[in-house]
Chain A
Amino acid sequence: MTNSEKSALSRRTFVKGSALAGLGAAALGTTSLFGCAPSGKSEDLAETGEEIQPVEEKICWGHCSVNCETRCALRFHVVDDEVKWVETDNTGNDEYGAHQLRACQRGRSIRRWINHPDRLKAPMKRVGTRGEGKFEEISWDEAIDTIASEYQRILDTYGPEAVYCHYATGVNAGNIGGFLSRLVNMNGGSLRRYGSYSSAQISQALPWLYGGRAANGNSDVANSKLVVLWGDNSCETKQSGGGPTYHYMEGLEKSGAKVIVIDPRYSDTAAAHADQWIPIRPGTDAALVDACAYVMITEDLVNHDFLEKYCIGFDDSTMPEDKKGKGLSYSDYITGKGEDKTPKTPEWASAITLIPADVITQLARDIATTKPCAIYQGKGPQRRGNGEQTARAICMMAVLTGNVGINGGNTGSDLDSFYMPASYGVPSDDNPVEVSIATFTWTDAIDHGEQMTATKDGVRGADKLNVPIKMIWNYAGNCLTNQHGDINHAHEILADDTKCEFIVLWDTFLTDSAKYADILLPDLMPVEQPNIVQSEYSGNVAYAIAGDAITSPKFERRTLYSVLSDVADKLGQKEAFTEGRDEMGWLQYIYEAGAADDPDQPSFEQLMEQHIYMVTCPDGEHVAFKDFRDDPEANPLDTPSGKIEIYSQALMDAVADWELPEGDFIHALPVYCPEVEGYDDPLTEKYPLQLTGFHYKGRTHSSYGCIEVLKKANPQELWINPLDAQERNIADGDTVRVTNDRGIVEIVAKVTPRIIPGTVAMGQGAWHDADMNGDKVDRGGCINTLTSHRPSPYAKANPQHTNLVEVAKA
């Protein structure tokens, strides 16, 4: 039987009198405490007068698959092939180290996603113009014929470099999304991409300093005396009961470390943990670092032994020979002996950061004298027009104080973790296409790809692109519009179907991106198919969660794998693609292949019985660059010198022939540089407020963004300080318009003292809701109506937290 035949048979609704009725009775309190019927048996409802048969309830394991950078276990109570309610991991005694992988409010609301009446039900083709959102149901045969023939036509006409697998993170499950690259790589591959929307600036910048991007697992704060969360809002972003917020809590309760939170917002992390909150003007973190460095250098609080032994470029003694005596070292720059002859004093930084000079001085002394000190940056500070400089600069706090490579310290980078010994992924050939673009620049690659070059646009693997993007595969992602910069600009490019000629897109809902599909396919949730996922950031305890399909497929929904198998069949590659396996066969194969790296892993049968497999860090805590710290000769870093390169000649050499637009800076030193559309941009005359995004607790990016109960509990609002609101005659709860030259968002104002004056903030990921043939005013509160598509200087990445706006009552 085919999957579609199966799904046709399995369409069913709740059987009247199934256990839901029992829930209603419990909520009404018809039963005295401890006197109600056992779970899973329906209550007799006297009013209906109908005889109700007890229904069997089964409990199935799965996980929440969205991209919050943690993973949680879910236990589905399933009755009559429908999810009735959802628990999280409640097994064991929940002792820290063998703790339950408890889900946050998002995972706990997954039933309303799974059972949502608006879920896509059948394959569709576009019938209106791109972006209009008009579709017509088609058969799977027609969908697969169209995909295979269009794919073949584009390969024949333009070659594989014109094919693009879009950045997409709505489904994080090792055994699912990888099948797309498996198929594409069997057919000549596709245009590569580097970087992400999450961490592009930091991931591209830190290798110049450290040879890589790495941090201590955050459970290691158990060994810290001081913890500085520099734009790290893990308690809101990564709420998992097995993830960073839980590890911070346990670690801090153990160590009793003082916590300083640096953030423009008094975030939930600040509320929960901060002994001190330092509000900062967005985009100026590196200026704060520079001034702290000034205090540490002039008060002789830096760790000279560490700087001498492990670093180059702090002062002339460790500068490259040909750069000595020229005022190019870090110390020279900070103390005013460098190119700009400006000492980076606390007073200098206070005018930039809006932090009082005495607060800066004390922060520097606290960081330098409290050992060990863990500096963790979040990814907010780096998601900006000067994010590469900021990310490297924050790390300098750890470098100057010698907190790198030790327990209780950190590199200053963002979260990292102990990971499982094996990773479970779909096997695939290498992508034969060598050229890549920065992930954020895909709209340029559609619009004028053949004009994109290595020195101007960050094209890698070739001097330039040969062809524009002509086809997009988009599996479970919302980055065509909603999560990309400048939606109105992306709309113009995508709406022209002579540019990108074919877009095939899978999702569970008609997301804003899905409106731009030519073929739109109804996906199954990861838990509606065999699934496995591995932990991402989880301190010193890594884990995998595995489960079988919790229900049979409903309506015409199919797995990605089964659809691609049929496409492969049309292309004459079915055997090569499937190797004769079904979804569960592949899950087993992928997992068992992990035994090569993890001989101790349980058998597949055992895994599917226990559902959770946990591995504890054998070293106690994951400490980044520990080998290097212990023996730098034997374990050099992956930098040209093998040391921490405070001064990076390699970076300067790499960009020597780059054409940087005016206002963009790439500096050899990890120091503050202004940003285009920053606080000091002349554009502030027209748009005086800075607008920053943040990761909102009611969604993960745009995932869960249409779940009504979550929207009610976590309303989409613009955070604005009472002083800024008063100036504009805005009261809490007023509807306001947030405006710049790129767009208009209509949104409710949350007037709150929890944000620094001069800055407003909007949780990212809300669903764009605008009439794109009309006024284009976004009433969904999507920040990307206002963000820019101008990439950052080095990573060519998304500066989505760098925006200038004005706010007025609607």
Chain B
Amino acid sequence: MTQYGFHFNGQRCTGCKACVMACKDKNDLSEDINFRNVHEYGGGTWTQDEAGCWVSDAFAYPVSIACNHCAKPICMANCPQGAISKDDETGQVWSDPEKCIGCGTCMNSCPYGAPKVDMEQMKSVKCDMCADQVKEGNLPICVAACPRRALDFGEIEELRATYGDVAEIAPLPAASETEPCLVITMPRNGKPVGDTTGAALNEREIL
């Protein structure tokens, strides 16, 4: 089986959200649903020296994440309807709308927040790797959108050969949880999974 995945280059991403909006436009998503999100992780403290000047170790960096079409998809394991499966040819994790009842178990299980429940259709919805685009030989729309060329897509083994095998970074979960098909190039100030010096800084923007 060929398994496809994404590469995120944290040294290039500025958190501009072109990926988010390109996806939203192409998939005609409602205001309240994103298939891709950009997390802002940051922290640091401020202290005043004797002269009253500020000294700070503040930091922040963005992480752009969609469905990672995991090797061990917990959404699939937890779906009470057996609606979620992995495509044999591509590794795409997808939900069969004929079986899906929109219960939201997948949404609540996924540590990346990838599946959503479309409340109008009462179905699970999420990133499908832009199947239609890829079939035509194009890149997924988010990858082709990135103004800083910070995203890549391809066979996960090739991505790992090119970019390494890091698949976790704060504030994402440990890669061992679901084995995401994701390769991360760490941002210059990136923090490891489990870091306690920072926090997610933009929760209101995550849909």
Interface members, chain A 22-59 (any B CB < 8 Å)? 23-24, 26-39
B203 → A minimal CB distance (Å): 9
Q: Across the interface, do A102 and B14 meet the contact criterion of CB distance under 8 Å?
A: no
Once the chains are docked, how many angstroms separate the CA of A36 from the CA of B121?
20
Which of these binds chain A: B133-141, B162-170, B175-183?
B133-141
Is the C-beta of A109 less than 8 angstroms from some C-beta in chain B? yes
Q: Across the interface, do A714 and B17 meet the contact criterion of CB distance under 8 Å?
A: yes
Select one of B12, B53, B123 contacting A249, CB under 8 A. Answer: B12
Interface members, chain B 127-170 (any A CB < 8 Å)? 128-129, 131-136, 138, 141, 144-149
Indicate whether A34 sits within 8 Å of B90 (C-beta atoms), given known contacts A108-B145, A266-B58: yes
Indicate whether A111 sits within 8 Å of B31 (C-beta atoms), given known contacts A34-B134, A356-B51, A757-B54: no
Select one of B46, B96, B126, B132 contacting A36, CB under 8 A. Answer: B132
Cβ of A715: which chain B residues have Cβ within 8 Å of it?
204-205
Once the chains are docked, how many angstroms separate the CA of A226 from the CA of B121?
54
Is the C-beta of B103 less than 8 angstroms from some C-beta in chain A? no
A134 → B minimal CB distance (Å): 29
Q: Across the interface, do A752 and B201 meet the contact criterion of CB distance under 8 Å?
A: yes
B89 → A minimal CB distance (Å): 7
Once the chains are docked, how many angstroms separate the CA of A359 from the CA of B55?
10
Cβ of B56: which chain A residues have Cβ within 8 Å of it?
279, 753, 756
Is the C-beta of A382 less than 8 angstroms from some C-beta in chain B? no
Is the C-beta of A239 less than 8 angstroms from some C-beta in chain B? yes
Cβ of A24: which chain B residues have Cβ within 8 Å of it?
28
Once the chains are docked, how many angstroms separate the CA of A356 from the CA of B46?
13
Which of these binds chain B: A137-145, A487-495, A508-516, A705-713?
A705-713
Cβ of A33: which chain B residues have Cβ within 8 Å of it?
4, 87, 89-90, 92, 94, 128-129, 131, 134-135
Interface members, chain B 64-115 (any A CB < 8 Å)? 87, 89-90, 92, 94-97
Once the chains are docked, how many angstroms separate the CA of A275 from the CA of B187?
12
Cβ of A713: which chain B residues have Cβ within 8 Å of it?
17, 20-21, 34, 205, 207
A700 → B minimal CB distance (Å): 13
Is the C-beta of A809 less than 8 angstroms from some C-beta in chain B? no
B121 → A minimal CB distance (Å): 7
Interface members, chain B 18-36 (any A CB < 8 Å)? 18, 20-22, 24-29, 31-32, 34-35
Chain A residue with Cβ nearest B97 = A28
Q: Across the interface, do A752 and B42 meet the contact criterion of CB distance under 8 Å?
A: yes
Cβ of A32: which chain B residues have Cβ within 8 Å of it?
87, 89, 92, 94, 131
Interface members, chain A 243-264 (any B CB < 8 Å)? 243, 245-246, 249
Indicate whether A239 sits within 8 Å of B128 (C-beta atoms), given known contacts A246-B147, A279-B56: no
Select one of A85, A239, A710 contacting B28, CB under 8 A. Answer: A85
Select one of B60, B87, B145 contacting A88, CB under 8 A. Answer: B145
Indicate whether A31 sits within 8 Å of B29 (C-beta atoms), given known contacts A108-B21, A241-B147, A753-B44: no
Once the chains are docked, how many angstroms separate the CA of A54 from the CA of B113?
35
Q: Across the interface, do B16 and A30 meet the contact criterion of CB distance under 8 Å?
A: no
Q: Across the interface, do B27 and A34 meet the contact criterion of CB distance under 8 Å?
A: no
Q: Across the interface, do A271 and B46 meet the contact criterion of CB distance under 8 Å?
A: no
Is the C-beta of A355 less than 8 angstroms from some C-beta in chain B? yes
Instruction: Render A712-723 as a binary contact track against B, CB cut-off 8 A, 1 for contact.
Output: 111100000111
Chain B residue with Cβ nearest A77 = B26
Is the C-beta of B171 less than 8 angstroms from some C-beta in chain A? no
Once the chains are docked, how many angstroms separate the CA of A155 from the CA of B56?
60
Size of the A side of the interface (Cβ < 8 Å), in residues, is 78
Is the C-beta of A268 less than 8 angstroms from some C-beta in chain B? yes
Once the chains are docked, how many angstroms separate the CA of A164 from the CA of B51?
51
Once the chains are docked, how many angstroms separate the CA of A20 from the CA of B24?
13
Is the C-beta of A769 less than 8 angstroms from some C-beta in chain B? no
Select one of B20, B24, B55, B123 contacting A28, CB under 8 A. Answer: B123
Select one of A102, A243, A697, A754 contacting B60, CB under 8 A. Answer: A754
Q: Across the interface, do A27 and B128 meet the contact criterion of CB distance under 8 Å?
A: yes
Cβ of A354: which chain B residues have Cβ within 8 Å of it?
52-54
Cβ of B196: which chain A residues have Cβ within 8 Å of it?
none
Instruction: Render A741-757 as a binary contact track against B, CB cut-off 8 A, 1 for contact.
Output: 00000001010111011
Is the C-beta of A277 less than 8 angstroms from some C-beta in chain B? yes
Is the C-beta of A235 less than 8 angstroms from some C-beta in chain B? yes
Cβ of A103: which chain B residues have Cβ within 8 Å of it?
18, 145, 147
Once the chains are docked, how many angstroms separate the CA of A670 from the CA of B21?
43
Select one of A269, A356, A710 contacting B14, CB under 8 A. Answer: A269
Chain A residue with Cβ nearest B95 = A29
Is the C-beta of A655 less than 8 angstroms from some C-beta in chain B? no
Indicate whether A246 sits within 8 Å of B21 (C-beta atoms), given known contacts A32-B94, A279-B56: no
Q: Across the interface, do A710 and B42 meet the contact criterion of CB distance under 8 Å?
A: no
Q: Counting chain A CB atoms within 10 Å of each CB, which of B16, B96, B123, B128 scores highest?
A: B16
Chain B residue with Cβ nearest A277 = B58
B179 → A minimal CB distance (Å): 19
Once the chains are docked, how many angstroms separate the CA of A698 from the CA of B21?
10
Chain B residue with Cβ nearest A28 = B97
A432 → B minimal CB distance (Å): 44
Interface members, chain A 105-126 (any B CB < 8 Å)? 105-106, 108-109, 111-112
Indicate whether A268 sits within 8 Å of B15 (C-beta atoms), given known contacts A24-B28, A108-B21: yes
B114 → A minimal CB distance (Å): 12
Interface members, chain A 770-785 (any B CB < 8 Å)? none
Is the C-beta of B43 less than 8 angstroms from some C-beta in chain A? yes
Once the chains are docked, how many angstroms separate the CA of A708 from the CA of B25?
12
B146 → A minimal CB distance (Å): 7
Is the C-beta of B13 less than 8 angstroms from some C-beta in chain A? yes
Once the chains are docked, how many angstroms separate the CA of A662 from the CA of B92?
68
Q: Across the interface, do A26 and B27 meet the contact criterion of CB distance under 8 Å?
A: yes
Once the chains are docked, how many angstroms separate the CA of A359 from the CA of B14?
26
Q: Across the interface, do A753 and B58 meet the contact criterion of CB distance under 8 Å?
A: yes
Q: Across the interface, do A754 and B25 meet the contact criterion of CB distance under 8 Å?
A: no
Q: Across the interface, do A268 and B21 meet the contact criterion of CB distance under 8 Å?
A: no
Q: Across the interface, do B42 and A23 meet the contact criterion of CB distance under 8 Å?
A: no
Cβ of B14: which chain A residues have Cβ within 8 Å of it?
235-236, 239, 245, 268-269, 271-272
Q: Across the interface, do B92 and A350 meet the contact criterion of CB distance under 8 Å?
A: no
Once the chains are docked, how many angstroms separate the CA of A251 from the CA of B26?
31
Q: Across the interface, do A271 and B15 meet the contact criterion of CB distance under 8 Å?
A: yes
Cβ of B54: which chain A residues have Cβ within 8 Å of it?
279, 354-355, 756-757
Q: Across the interface, do A109 and B21 meet the contact criterion of CB distance under 8 Å?
A: yes
A219 → B minimal CB distance (Å): 14
Chain B residue with Cβ nearest A748 = B204
A245 → B minimal CB distance (Å): 6
Q: Across the interface, do B25 and A108 meet the contact criterion of CB distance under 8 Å?
A: yes
Is the C-beta of A549 less than 8 angstroms from some C-beta in chain B? no
Q: Counting chain A CB atoms within 10 Å of each CB, which of B28, B32, B52, B129 scores highest?
A: B28
Select one of B17, B28, B136, B144 contacting A27, CB under 8 A. Answer: B28
Cβ of A39: which chain B residues have Cβ within 8 Å of it?
132-133, 136
Once the chains are docked, how many angstroms separate the CA of A26 from the CA of B132?
8
B124 → A minimal CB distance (Å): 8
Select one of B4, B118, B207 contacting A712, CB under 8 A. Answer: B207
B159 → A minimal CB distance (Å): 17
Is the C-beta of A680 less than 8 angstroms from some C-beta in chain B? no
Indicate whether A351 sits within 8 Å of B123 (C-beta atoms), given known contacts A268-B16, A271-B62: no
A362 → B minimal CB distance (Å): 13
Which 3 pairs between the two chains have the least Cβ-Cβ distance?
A241-B147, A105-B21, A33-B90
6 A-B residue pairs with Cβ-Cβ distance under 8 Å, sorted by A, are A23-B28, A30-B97, A87-B22, A245-B14, A752-B201, A753-B60
Q: Which residues of B contact A (CB under 8 A)?
A: 4, 12-18, 20-22, 24-29, 31-32, 34-35, 42-46, 49, 51-56, 58-62, 87, 89-90, 92, 94-97, 118, 121, 123, 125-126, 128-129, 131-136, 138, 141, 144-149, 187-189, 201, 204-205, 207
